[in-house]
């Protein structure tokens, strides 16, 4: 395998490809639409409640974990569909496990969100 020298323009192209992949995921995956809305709501709530720096760190970590799991799940689905266009039970099982990983991260992120936002919501509800 031949090693190419580092090129700044090559790094710029790789960012464009990555952004194109994110856009493709959001356009074709219905769950990514839900993640987009949820991320927007959480960011707006974070600004509304004036979260601390450490609270923002947890929110960013939680949201990025869900987005990463969704992106990997989407990539896995594309590859699975390309290699096995006809139904195959093993491919179905693999896709189910990958989707389960997204669900695990979404639930964990929801718990993190509840832990962070509950004290703020309690303060607003008491007024």
Q: Integer distance in angstroms from the first to the last C-alpha of the chain?
A: 66
Known active-site residue 70: yes
Question: Are 76 and 95 within 8 A, CB to CB?
Answer: yes
Residue 12 CA from chain centroid, whole number:
23
Active site residues: 70
């Amino acid at each position: 395998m031949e090693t190419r020298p580092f090129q700044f323009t090559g790094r710029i192209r790789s960012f464009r490809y990555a952004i194109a992949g994110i856009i493709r995921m959001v356009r074709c995956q219905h769950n990514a639409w839900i993640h987009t809305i949820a991320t927007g709501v959480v960011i707006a709530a974070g600004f509304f409640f004036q979260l601390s720096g450490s609270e923002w760190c947890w929110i960013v970590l939680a949201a990025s974990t869900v987005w990463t799991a969704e992106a990997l799940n989407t990539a896995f689905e594309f590859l699975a569909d390309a290699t096995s266009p006809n139904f195959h039970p093993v491919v179905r099982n693999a896709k189910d496990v990958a989707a389960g990983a997204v669900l695990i991260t979404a639930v964990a992120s929801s718990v993190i969100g509840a832990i962070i936002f509950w004290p703020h919501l309690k303060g607003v509800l008491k007024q």
